[in-house]
Amino acid sequence: MSSNEARHKKLKLRAWRRGFREADLILGPFADLHVSSLSAADLDLFEELLDQPDHDLYGWILERMPTPAAFDGPLMDRLKAYRDIAHKAIGNG
């Protein structure tokens, strides 16, 4: 397994095992679909996002709290767009 593959696997695992189900159901599938196509800079940022407290990160994704400038950008925009897809899947599942 290459170092990139190992990193992707680790990030996917972390995204699915947040300990906060609502966040898991957005971050896990997002990671499964997108981690392998993220740039190195976006992987770094995604890793930093996963280091944030669950309720803060979930609040940013749902736009219940303002996203800090350090995380407010294209990757967060993708997460917010994915949130809508994930919530539809949950509602229909």
CATH of the domain at 52: 1.10.150.250
Spans of the chain below 50 pLDDT: 93
Instruction: Please tell me the predicted confidence (pLDDT) of residue 43.
Output: 96
Count of structural domains within the chain = 1
Q: Do residues 61 and 75 touch, judged by C-beta distance below 8 A? A: no
Q: Do residues 19 and 52 touch, judged by C-beta distance below 8 A? A: no
Q: State the residue range of the domain holding 85.
A: 3-92
- Contacts of 57-60 with CB under 8 Å at 24 or more apart are 57/23, 57/27, 58/20, 58/22, 58/23, 58/26
**The whole model's pTM is what?**
0.88
